[in-house]
Structures are given as C-alpha cells and as structure tokens.
Structure 1
Amino acid sequence: MTSLTTGTRQRAARVGGADRILGAREVTDFIAEQLAGIDADGLSVCVLVPDATRNCPLPLLVGAVHRALHGRASRLTVLIALGTHGAMSDDALAEHLGYRGRDLAEVYPGTTVRNHEWWKPQTFADLGTIPSARIEELSEGRMSGDVEVLLNRAVVDHDIALVVGPVLPHEVVGMSGGNKYFFPGVAGQKIIDVSHWLGALITSAEIIGTTEVTPVRALINDGAALIPARTYALCVVTAETPEEDDGIPADSDRSTALHSVSFGDCVSSWESAAEISAATHVTYLDAPVRRVLSLVPAMYGEIWTGAKGFYKVEPVVADGGEVILYAPHIREIATSHPEIHEIGYHCRDYFVEQWDAFQHIHWGVLAHSTHLRGAGTYDPATGEERLRVDVTLATGIPEETCRALNLGYRDPATIDVAEFTADPGTLVVPRAGEVLFRLR
C-alpha cells in the first residue's frame, strides 16, 4: 500500500498500481481497513456510485462498503449519480449492484437504493452561491454571473457522503471521479450548465486527460466545499484485460479487475487515482491516423453517452480525417435532451459567434454538441462552418436524422471490422469510450 503526501501531510491511502491487477480479497481487505478508521458509528452514510455508463465492479465495491459499515452506520443510502442521464429501472439497479434475482434487503440489509431524480425540483437542497467574481477568475474572463449550488438533498440529509467510482480521462473536467460525483453527478442544472460550458469554451482537446486541477475541476471543488456532510472517496482505476490474459489473480475475474483503489478525502483520493489512470487509460501513438473506427460498447445506450467514442480518439485523427462511431444498438440521440435536435452538432465558435440565438439552450447541451463535433471555425459573415474532422454515425439512427444534425451517416451493415483492422490508415478501437488516445 502506498501513501501519497502533500508536503509532510499524509493524503490518500492506496493499494495497487499501474503495473498490477488486484485480487478481490486485496480490494475488500483494503476497503474494510480504511472504513474501519473513520468515525461512522451511529451516523448516516450516503454512498454515491456511477450509473451503468461507467465500467466498474460495483457489486464488489459496494458489497465491501456495506460489510464495513452495516451495523455501525444508523442508515445507508446508495445514490446513483446520474448527472442528467436517464433513470435506471429496478431491474437495472439490481443488475448494477449485484442483487439480481434476490431482494435488496437480503444482499444489502438496512440499505436504500435511489436514483438521482434530477427532473424533480424537490430533489435539491440549496447550498449557497459561487459568486460571479470567482466564475470570472476560473474562466479567465470567458464567463460571469453568480452560480447557485443545488445538490441532491439525500447528500445533505446524511452525516457522511462516500463517493465510490472510477477515475477516467474526461472531456469536461480532465479526469473524472472524486467531487465530480457531486457536481454534476447529483447536482442542479445551473452548475451543470456552467461547468460543462466552461469546459467547452476551453475545449475538450485542451482539457481531456489533464491530471492537474483544471478550471472546471476547481469549480466543482468550490461547490463541494459547501457540502455540510463529511465527504470521503474510494476512487478506483479499472483494468482493461484481453480475453487471453492470464495475469488476473485467482480470486478475481475480468468483471472485477482493478489496478488500484485509493481512499481519503475527495481531492486526495482523486489525485491518487488520476495518477494511475493517466498511466493505464492513455494510449500514445507516434503519428496521426486518417480514420478511426470506434466500437461503442453496449453500456452506452444513446449518442449522449456513446459520443465518448469520439472524444477519446479525436486527438489522434489527422486534419480532414474521420471518426466512425459503430454502434448498431444505439437508436436514440439523447432521450433526456431533445434540445439537441433543435441545434444539431457544431463546433464551439458556431455557438459563440451566434450567442444571442443559442444562449437560451441548456449550456450542457451546447457543450455536448461541441464535444462531438470537435475543433472547427465559424465565419458569421458568410455563415460557413469548417470542421477539423468528419463524424459519421454507423448506428440504428436513421440517415435523415444524422444529416439533419450535421453528422455523417453510414449503414452499420456495411461495416466489416476485420477489413477496417487490416487498413493501415485506420485505428480500430474496441470498447471505445474510456481509454484516451494521444499523440506523443
């Protein structure tokens, strides 16, 4: 186990590393040891976890947390940090947390499981305001205005909030995880919009994969400082393992493969995990490629989340190149965000240069639009938009919908993965969406 320090002060405890894959026993023993050291007796605990759009062995992790806290905590609530994703069904929750076919009370006695119901105003508690001067400072003058900080009241109504989830390269904040599970994970619309649009203004290309505290990370840390509950995080780094790999410990399996687990406050544990994730979830190429075929996994059920198959590969695509998102299972653009059909997909400058026409749209939707379209320019005098790369959907979404949204279309039935793999100018990315590709 490694301890990370700032100066002489111990920061986060960690088990594992970039060159290791942990056994399940190592993980559970570490979690038990760390949670035994916190004052949780007689206190209520809210455990924040990701939804199914993150690859994470939650049954292993939440099971270990429950064993460490059940009988000590006065009550336990597991809160799904949806952000603005769609709610998970009861069956999906049971599968996600490992109690499928059994009663919740049998597997996790004394525990409540809840979706973050972001669509209901009564979900939120008002924690205060981040002042305009701070927003101007963080955005280097790009944005201004006070930002109200609304958070799911389940967090506020518990004595302790414990984040449990992976740290991965992220297009808005640099590296996901930690306090991001509060903002935007279970936050109100305003801080979601401001944080995502700030990331879009800086651009995904500049932010993604950054392990330092980006302006967006600083903003969400400011929001988290207003949380009245004591906050901790178990930040994990998942392991990508090929089918033929025999290096997984005998007491684990591929569905629970982890490189590391870090525990501490939400900043130090995130820093610890981000260090490992930068070594395990970033792949470097020596030269740009003409085309990328991203094989989008089933955990992304719509383009709103499946677009990660573009974000993570755009940095290695040559100017004028193409990214194909191959996902025959995807038939929706964004079920919770119909505004995207109003604006389509465009580069950042398309919106900035026509702000009066678009500022009424949720800025998080505008940010999603720019992230999927990537770098480009817009000339307001001529109305011409020039985009650095082409984005083509090979999905179950009709061609007319793709074209109307300013995206390319290809019939997924015409995709032969083996043929693309044999093309030296094409990079084929399996399970696209979590590993970032960069040029050296």
Structure 2
Amino acid sequence: VLRPQFVPGLPDEAEAFRQAVRQPIGTGPLAEKIGPGDRVAVVIADGTRALPSDRLLPWLFAELSHVPPEQITIVIGTGTHRANTPEEIEAMVGPEVARRYRIVNHNAYDDATMTVVRPGQGERPPLAMNRAYVEADRRILIGFIEPHFMAGFSGGYKAVFPGVADLASIMHYHRAEMIGHPRSTWGVLEGNPTQALIRENGSAVPVDFLINVTLNHRQQITGFYCGDVIAAHEEGCRVVKQTAMAPCPHPYPLVITSNSGHPLDQNLYQSVKGMCAAAEVVAEGGEIIITARCNDGFPAHGNFAKMLRAYGSAQEMLDAIHAPGFHMLDQWQVQKLAQVLVKARVALYSELSPDQVR
C-alpha cells in the first residue's frame, strides 16, 4: 500500500494562522501591507477543490479588521470551470461571509468582465484577467498545496493563472506540447514548463500576499505557508514532497486507487488526476481500478465528454490533439487520460452507468 505520511492537524488552526500571517515567509506582516482605504481582492478556489475557505476567510478578515467589508471582493478562481451556485458558495465560504462580502465568480468566457494586463506576442495571445482582481489595490491569494499532475504542485500563482485568466490564455497554457512535456508532471518545479508559465503569467499583476495551506485526509490543516508567493510556495512544496509522495520500488500489474473523495471525485474530468497518479506506478499493459463517485457526471458542461465520444481509441485522441492547429477546450484532460489509456487498462467504479463509461 502506497499512501502519504499522515500528518496530524494543527492543535489550534486559528492561532497558527495568526502566527503565519504576522511572521510570514520572505515579506512583512499581512496587516501592515493592507491600508484601511485599500480595495482588496482575495482569490479562492472553486468548489472542485478541498480548500477550507470557510475557516480561512473569517481568520483573514479578522486580521484585516481595519478594512471595511465593502472594500473587499472575493474572487472565485474558476478557470474554465462552471460558475458556483449561490448554495455552493455559501457552503464554500460560510453563511456569514457569503452575506457580508461581495463574491465574484470568475468567467473566462466573458471578455467584458476582464482587463488585458499584457499584450500578445507571436503565438502567445494577450493576457487578460478578472477585472475585480486587476482593479484592486491589494491582492491576496489563498490556496492549498498538493502534488499536481501537470504543474508539479498546486498552490502559489496557480490561484491567479489559470484561476482568473481569460480563455485564450488558458488554452495556450494547456496546449499539447506543454501538457506532454516530460517535466510537466507530479512533484517537479524546476524545469517544469507548465509551472514556469503559471508563474510568468500569474505575476503579470503584482500579488501582495500568499496564504497556502497543507491538508491531511481528514481535511485538517497541517501547515501554513504564507508571505511572498514564490518563497512561501516553494517551502510548502518542499514539505509536501516529503510527506505526500512515496517512493515506489517497481511498477505493479494492478493498481487500485481513488481521487481522494469529495469534492475531488465529483466528476470524471477531475478523476483523471487519480488515474494519472496510478499510471506513475502501473506496469505497461497493466490495469488501474479507480473508485470515484462522479455524481456530477463527466460533467455535462465543456468538451470533455464530447471529445471522449468522438474518437475510437486513446491513440486516436492523441493523434487528433497533436495535429497542427488543433485547439479545443478541455483537450488537456483528454490528453492526460489518453496517455494513461495507452499505457494501461482503466476500470471505473462510480455512479456513472456502464453504458456511459464505455
């Protein structure tokens, strides 16, 4: 059995938060960076992530008690995901925060809600970001750090890019050669072109403070990594690599896995990540069995399901995606799934019907 080390939750999460933002990594205390007249944008993850925003946001706003609530906007970094419903938002941030603060669902498909922050050059499109984020005087990013199948690790600037970016820039970031690069993989920061582009684009607009956490499987906070975006993120990634990743002596013919439960396994699109993790340790021609609820389906929005139905085999998917000029929303997740299917057979135990999965 391969599993992360179990790291116990912090005995007093709120006090640990206060210490982390008052004695941050690589920069000054949070409260000293934000003035009472500043307009503040706080970026959080959407409902597909296990970020404990309902705990973090009240602690943050207590630390920023000198800033009136009407000057603070919470921006949900949806990337290309669907908007979160009012009920989902209340569950994510808590009823009190949902009532008192302005909350914006980022919409990568609506240019009218964004501002261009960098002109295009060559094949690189102009970079636009959520207007509420760009027009703020101060910007705070909240996220959590775990191994990521393309970026090496989540957290850091990933809250901004692709979180609050425009569709064209997200598509360029997810292009086939980037996703297929051998260093765009789990646990790799140095030389990872995906992480490099996240940092390049994420820093196009200044970020004033990072709040990143690590979690155990009980959703308890095990550590805070706060302060300068790069310094705090890299320290968190160092710890996560030691605790959440395990060496494997050899590949196995059969690997049984999950996508870590709710909210990470709510659809097949997100559950590809669990398959990709298993693919790291499965033998060529082996089998992966994954349990994932998939109560949100494939999902219905986006092109993921459409692309899966359009091709007769994994190799056909890869050939189409790598064809010159091919660009389609969600192609990156299809590409990662196809790479797994070329290597191994995958069996899925979920709420999807067998006919849907076939």
TM class by shorter chain equals 0.7 to 0.9
Partner of 2:54: 59
The reply to whether residue 321 of structure 1 matches residue 286 of structure 2 is yes
C-alpha displacement of 1:319? 0.9
1:263 match: 226
TM-score, with normalisation over the residues of structure 2? Answer: 0.85
Structure 1 residue 349: deviation in Å?
A: 4.5
Structure 2 vs 1, CA of residues 391 and 161 (structure 1 numbering), >3 Å: closer, same or farther? same
Contact 1:31 1:68 survives alignment (8 Å): no
The one-letter amino acid paired with 1:232 is F
Amino acid of the structure 2 residue aligned with 1:298 = H
- In structure 2, C-alpha distance between the alignment counterparts of 1:112 and 1:31, rounded to whole Å: 26
1:117 and 2:107 correspond? yes
Query: What is the rounded CA distance, in whole Å, between the counterparts of 1:78 and 1:103 in structure 2?
Result: 10
Q: How does 1:236-251 map to 2 (within 5 A)?
A: 236-240=213-217
Which runs of structure 2 are paired with 1:37-436 in the superposition (5 Å)?
Answer: 37-72=32-67, 75-99=71-95, 104-105=98-99, 109=100, 111-129=101-119, 131-132=121-122, 145-197=123-175, 198-203=177-182, 207-212=185-190, 214-227=192-205, 229-240=206-217, 254-255=218-219, 257-296=220-259, 297-299=261-263, 300-330=265-295, 332-338=297-303, 340-342=305-307, 343-344=310-311, 346=314, 349-351=318-320, 354-355=323-324, 359-362=326-329, 365-374=330-339, 387-403=342-358
How far is the alpha carbon of 1:213 from its aligned partner?
5.3
Q: Alpha carbon RMSD of aligned pairs, Å?
A: 2.6
Shift of residue 352, structure 1, vs aligned partner: 5.4
* Alpha-carbon separation, structure 2, partners of 1:97 and 1:53: 14
Provide closer, same or farther for how the CA distance between residues 278 and 40 of structure 1 changes in structure 2, counting only shifts above 3 A: farther
* 1:374 match: secondary structure: helix
SS of 2:246's equivalent? strand
Aligned partners of 1:86 and 1:202: how far apart in 2?
28
TM-score of the superposed pair, with normalisation by structure 1: 0.70
Structure 1 residue 25 displacement after superposition? 3.5
Change (3 A) 1:150 1:315: same
> What is aligned with 1:135?
none
| CA–CA distance in structure 1, aligned partners of residues 124 and 189 of structure 2 | 27
Larger radius of gyration: 1
**Between Structure 1 and Structure 2, which shows a larger proportion of strand residues?**
1
- Partners of 2:276 and 2:340 within 8 A in 1: no
Residues 267 and 296, structure 2, Cα contact 8 Å, conserved in 1: yes
Q: Larger deviation: 28-37 or 146-155?
A: 28-37
How far apart in 2 are the matches of 1:88 and 1:353? 32
- Relative to structure 1, the CA distance from residue 181 to residue 191 in structure 2 (aligned partners, 3 Å threshold; closer, same or farther) is same
Q: 1:292 to 1:130 in 2, by over 3 A?
A: farther
The aligned amino acid for 2:14 is: R
Cα separation, 1, equivalents of 2:46 and 2:127: 22
Secondary structure in 1 matching 2:75: strand
Unaligned runs of 5+ in 1: 1-17, 133-144, 241-253, 377-386, 404-440
| Contact 2:151 2:184 (8 Å CA) reproduced | no
Question: Using the alignment, how far apart are the partners of 1:272 and 1:188 within structure 2?
Answer: 29
Structure 1 distance, partners of 2:34, 2:97, is 29
- Report if the CA contact (8 A) 1:339-1:361 is conserved: no
| Structure 2 letter corresponding to 1:312 | A
Contact 2:207 2:229 in 1 (8 A): no
Match of residue 7 from structure 1: none
Q: Distance in 2 between matches of 1:31 and 1:46?
A: 20
**Residue number among 13, 29, 45 corresponding to 2:18 in the alignment:** 29
Q: In structure 2, how many angstroms separate the alpha carbons of the residues matched to 1:234 and 1:127?
A: 23
Deviation at 1:223, TM superposition (A): 1.5
Any unmatched runs of 5+ in structure 2? 1-5, 23-28
Distance verdict in 2 for CA 1:375–1:333, change over 3 Å: closer
Q: Do 2:80 and 2:108's aligned partners in 1 also have CA atoms closer than 8 Å?
A: yes
The CA deviation at 1:314 is 1.2
